[in-house]
Structure 1
C-alpha cells in the first residue's frame, strides 16, 4: 500500500509539460495506435487524463441517446475537455429542435473555436448561422477555419452563403453540395438574383479557395462559375455534378481564366455542342495542363474532345465517362494510349464496347487500379484482367459458363462459388487446371464436393493459402497415402481452413507431418472428440486461432492439448462444448499456458465452476462466458486473475447479480466493453456505478429493464455508449 502511494505521489509531482514532451514522442504512429496509446495513458491518473486530452485534435459527436435526456449544456462540456481541437464533425448530431445546433455551437469556448481549422455541419436542417455569429462576436481573433462542409443541409438560404463569405476569410475547402429542397430556390426572379449576388460575394471574399463542391445546386449558373474562376486564384478542384444551369459555353469561358485546375467534375451536359461552342469547350479542357481528374458523367461528348486531350498528353489519373454518349472506340482508344498514368477508369454504359474493342485497350492500362464497365452489355468478363470473382449465391448459371470464365482468367487470385449447387468433384477437378494463381477459394455450401476436390486444389494451386469448405462433403472419398502427401508441399502455405459440419468420424488430413496452418475452423464437427483432436494438435504448432464450437464431445483434455502444443495460439472458441469436463493439469503446470491467450469464448458451459480459475498468470483481453452457470464468486475469481480484460460477455448468466458485476468491473482495470444482457438479477442502478468506478468503459449492453435516469446523462455523454439488450427469458 505504501509503495503504491509513493508511486501515485511521484506521478502527481511530475510536471504536465514534461508529460506532454514524453507523450509526444510516443505518438508518431498509425492513427489507430495513437488512439490506443492516448486512451491507455488517460486511465493512469487525472493528471495524465488532462494531459492526453490536449493531444486530441479531431472529434466527431455521436448523439446516441435522445436529446431530451441529454441537455446541450452537458454536451458542450466536451469542448472544455479537449482544448486543442482542430477538426470538429457534427454531421451526425441530432438535436430535438432545429435550433439546438445553434445553441450547441454558441457554447464552444472562443479559445477552442479559434483553433478549429475544419468544421463539418452536414446533414443538419439548417446552417447554424446565429450560433456561429455569436461565437465569432465573442472571439477577439478571426476564425482560422480552412475547411467548411455543409453537404445535404435541409435549407441553404442565400443569407447563409453571405454569412459564410463574411465570416471565414481563410477558407480553402468549401462544400455546400446537395441542399434540400433545391437549396430554397424558387422561380421568383428576385430570389434568383439574391442567390447570384451571394455567390458573387462568396467568390470575391474567399479568394483563398482551393476546392469547391457545388454538386446538386440549382442556383449555380455560368455567371457564378465565371466569377469563381476569376476571383479564386488558388482554385484547383471544382465539383459541379447535377447543376442544370451550367453549359458548355459557360465552362469554356470560366476555365480559360483558371488554367491551374487539376480536378474538374461536371455532369449532365446533354445539349449537343454547336461548332463554335465545341471548339471553345475542347480548347478550355485541353488548356488545363495539370488536369489529373476529369468527370463528365452523363454528358454529350465526342471523339474530338478525347483526341484533343490525348494530343495534349494531360496527366490524367482518373477518368469518369459514366453514361456519356456520342463518342466511339476511336476516341477512347486514342485517349487511353496517351494516358500512361491512368489509375481509375469508369466507362459505364458504353454500349459500343465489346471484347473485340476492350482487349486491345487493356494494353494501355498497365497502371490501372480500378475499372467500372457496368452496363456494357456487349462485354464479357473474360476480356478483363480480373483478380477476384464473387458469385456467392448466384443461380441460373452452369458448369459451362463458369468453365469458360475461369479459362479466360489467368490473373485470378480469389474465387467465391458459395452455394453453387451444381458443383461436384467431377466438375471442380477440371476447373482446378485454370487456377494456378489462386490464393483463396470459398466453396462453402457446395454439398457435393468431397476429398477429391480438396486434393485437386492442393495439387493444382501452389499459392493457395485460404480454403473454405463449410457444409460440403469433405471427408468423403479417397485420400492419398501418407507417402503421397509429400507431393503437396503447398500444404505448408495453407493458413486458413474452414471445414465446419463435417459428418465423418475421422479427419483425413490429420496425418500431415508438415503444416503451417494458422487458422482452423471445425465448428459443428459432431464426430470430433478428445481422442481425435489430441493427436491433431501435434501438427499445429503454428496455430493462431481455432474454432471448435458445437463439438460437444470436446472437453478439458483437448483444451490443454491445444495450449501445450500450440505456443502461438491466441484465440480459442469452444462454445457449446464439454469444456470443464475431464482432468486438469496441476497448478504448477498451468502457469505456462495462458500467457499468450487473448480471446476465449466458452459460452453455454454447464459447469458451475470454471476449471481454469486457478491460473496464476493470464493475459486474456476478450472473454465470452455467455449462457454459463457462473455465480458472483466465480466471476470475482475470474476477474482477479484476468485483470487485463478489455471485453467481458456475461449474457444470460442468470446467477450473476450486481455484486458480481461490480467486483468484475473493479478488478478489470482496463475494461472497455461489458455485456450483461438478460442478467435479470442485476439491478438497474448498476450502470451509473460502473461508469463512475471504471472510466475506461466505452460500451455497456444492459438488461432490458434498465431505464436511463436523468442523473446518468452526464456520465453517458462524456464516456460511454449504453445499449438496451433484448431478452426472451422470464427470470
Structure 2
C-alpha cells in the first residue's frame, strides 16, 4: 500500500520558497509555486540582457515588489525607469547604479507616481551633476536614503580631467553647491553616501544644518573634509549612528569665529548615539584616541585603516574603554606587532570581525592569539602579512568553533603545514581565500577539507600540478588548475 502524500500548508511553502536563490525559475514548476512566488517576491534584480518588454511582464506579474535593482541592466535605463514609475507598484527602493545618466524626465515620473520611494541608489553614475541632484531633490523630497557615491580615485579623476581638457570636453561633476541644494530640500534624509566625490566642508555642514534626522553619513575619499567640520557634525547631529570620513585634514574650515576652536577631541562626546566610526587615514595622536575613549559613546564598529602613526598605547586605552566592540579594522597599521596584538587581545572578547591585512609585522603568533582569545570571532582578514613565517615553531593555535571565514591572500610564507594547523583550529570554517599564496600545494587544500567539514568555498589562483579535482565534505569542488 503506497504512502499517503504529505500536503504542506501555503504558509509553510512560502517560508521554504522565500529562501530560494532563483525564485523565478522555481515558480515555473507548478501552478501553486507560481501563485506563491507572486505573493512573496519583494525584491527583483534585473538581468543585464532583459528587454523592456520582459521587464514590463515581470512588473505586472510580481505585484508586491518593494525593491528593484537595475544596476546590471544594459538596456535603455530611462525606459526601464519609466516602466517602473508607471507600473502601479508600491516600490520603496530603486537602484540605478553604474548607468551612464538618468534624465530629469525619468526622475519627475518617479516623483509623480511613487510617493513611497524612500531609497534611491545612484552609485557610479558616469554623468551626475549638480542639476541632477536638484532634480532628485525636487522630484523626490521624501527620500530617506540616497547613495550618490563614486569609486573613481584621484589618479583616475586627474587622467579623466586631462582627457576632457585635451578633447575640448566640458567636465562638470557634483560640487558643494549641488549638495547644499540637495540638503535644503531633503529634510527627512536619514542616510547619505557622497563618498568619492571631490567635496569639502560646506557639503557636510549643509547636511548637518538641514537634515536633522541624519543617522548615517558616508563621506570617504572626498578630499577636503577637515576635523573642524567633523567636530561640528558631532555637535549638530545628535541622531548620528554611523560616520565614515577618510583622510581628514587637521586644518579647519571656519563658518564662524566661535567654531574655529571645535576639534574632534572636544566634540566626540556630543555624538551620544554613534556606534560605527570610520576615520581612516587620519593622524591619530595619543590625546585624540584618549578623548574617544573618555567619550563613552555606544561604539560597536571602529575602522582605523592606513593610520601609519597610530599610538599603540592610545589604541589600548580606547579598546579598554570599548570592550563590547564587535568590528575592528586596522588594515595597514604597519606598526602593529605580534606583541601588540597579544597585549590588546584581552579587549577582543566580543569581536566578531577583525581586519589586520597588510600589517606586515604580524605572523602565526597573531593568528594563534586570535583563535585562543576571541571566543566570538567569526571572520578574519589577514591578507599579505607574515603568516607562515613561524611555521617551524611549536605553537598552540587552540580551537575556535565560531570562525567561519578566513581571507589569507598574498601570504607568501604560508605553507601546507601552517594551513593544516589553521584547519584544525577552525573546524567550523566555511569560506577560505588563499589566492596568491605561492608555497601552498593541493596537499594543504586537501588537509583543510579533512578538518573543516562545513567548508564550501575555497579560492586560490595558484596552479597546482596534476590538474586534479578536490571534493569538499559538503560536495562542493575546488579545482586546482
TM value normalised by structure 2: 0.71
Kept in 1, the 8 Å contact 2:226–2:249? The answer is: no
2:187 to 193, 198, 207: 207
Pairing 1:235–2:214 present: yes
* Counterpart Cα distance in 2 of 1:435 and 1:41: 40
Kept in 2, the 8 Å contact 1:297–1:321? The answer is: yes
Kept in 1, the 8 Å contact 2:224–2:248? The answer is: no
* Counterpart Cα distance in 2 of 1:440 and 1:269: 40
2:96 to 95, 116, 121: 121
Alignment of 1:353-502 (within 5 A): 353-384=336-367, 385-387=369-371, 401-404=390-393, 407-411=395-399, 439=427, 445-446=442-443, 466=453
| CA deviations over 1:630-686 (Å, ceiling 9, x no partner) | xxxxxxxxxxxxxxxxxxxxxxxxxxxxxxxxxxxxxxxxxxxxxxxxxxxxxxxxx
Kept in 1, the 8 Å contact 2:363–2:390? The answer is: no
| Structure 1 counterpart of 2:58 | 78
Unpaired runs of at least 5, structure 2:
1-8, 166-170, 254-258, 372-377, 433-439, 456-466
| Structure 2 counterpart of 1:106 | 82
| Structure 2 counterpart of 1:170 | 142
| Structure 2 counterpart of 1:144 | 116
Kept in 2, the 8 Å contact 1:89–1:120? The answer is: yes
Alignment of 1:264-663 (within 5 A): 264-271=243-250, 280-384=263-367, 385-387=369-371, 401-404=390-393, 407-411=395-399, 439=427, 445-446=442-443, 466=453
- CA gap of 1:287–1:161, structure 2 versus 1, over 3 A, is same
Please state whether the residue corresponding to 2:306 is helix, strand or coil: coil
Please state whether the residue corresponding to 1:27 is helix, strand or coil: helix
Kept in 1, the 8 Å contact 2:226–2:252? The answer is: no
TM value normalised by structure 1: 0.49
* Counterpart Cα distance in 2 of 1:201 and 1:369: 40
Alignment of 1:697-708 (within 5 A): none
* Counterpart Cα distance in 1 of 2:474 and 2:292: 53
Kept in 2, the 8 Å contact 1:229–1:255? The answer is: no
Please state whether the residue corresponding to 1:254 is helix, strand or coil: helix
- CA gap of 1:50–1:397, structure 2 versus 1, over 3 A, is closer
* Counterpart Cα distance in 1 of 2:83 and 2:379: 52
Over the aligned positions, Cα root-mean-square deviation in angstroms equals 4.6
* Counterpart Cα distance in 1 of 2:286 and 2:187: 36
* Counterpart Cα distance in 1 of 2:476 and 2:276: 46
Superposed displacement of residue 31, structure 1: 3.6
Please state whether the residue corresponding to 2:184 is helix, strand or coil: helix
Superposed displacement of residue 357, structure 1: 2.4
- CA gap of 1:168–1:386, structure 2 versus 1, over 3 A, is same
2:30 to 44, 51, 55: 44
Unpaired runs of at least 5, structure 1:
1-21, 65-69, 458-462, 469-499, 502-519, 523-542, 548-731
Pairing 1:225–2:200 present: no
- CA gap of 1:283–1:268, structure 2 versus 1, over 3 A, is same
| Structure 2 counterpart of 1:161 | 133
Pairing 1:59–2:48 present: no
More moved, 202-211 vs 368-377:
368-377
Q: Which has the larger radius of gyration?
A: 1
* Counterpart Cα distance in 2 of 1:294 and 1:546: 38
Superposed displacement of residue 215, structure 1: 0.4
| CA deviations over 1:124-179 (Å, ceiling 9, x no partner) | 01124322324545x4xx52111100001101011110111011122111100007
Please state whether the residue corresponding to 2:88 is helix, strand or coil: helix
Kept in 2, the 8 Å contact 1:28–1:34? The answer is: no
Please state whether the residue corresponding to 2:214 is helix, strand or coil: coil
| Structure 2 counterpart of 1:32 | 19
* Counterpart Cα distance in 2 of 1:126 and 1:33: 33
Kept in 1, the 8 Å contact 2:138–2:185? The answer is: yes
Please state whether the residue corresponding to 1:122 is helix, strand or coil: coil
Please state whether the residue corresponding to 1:119 is helix, strand or coil: strand
* Counterpart Cα distance in 2 of 1:194 and 1:445: 50
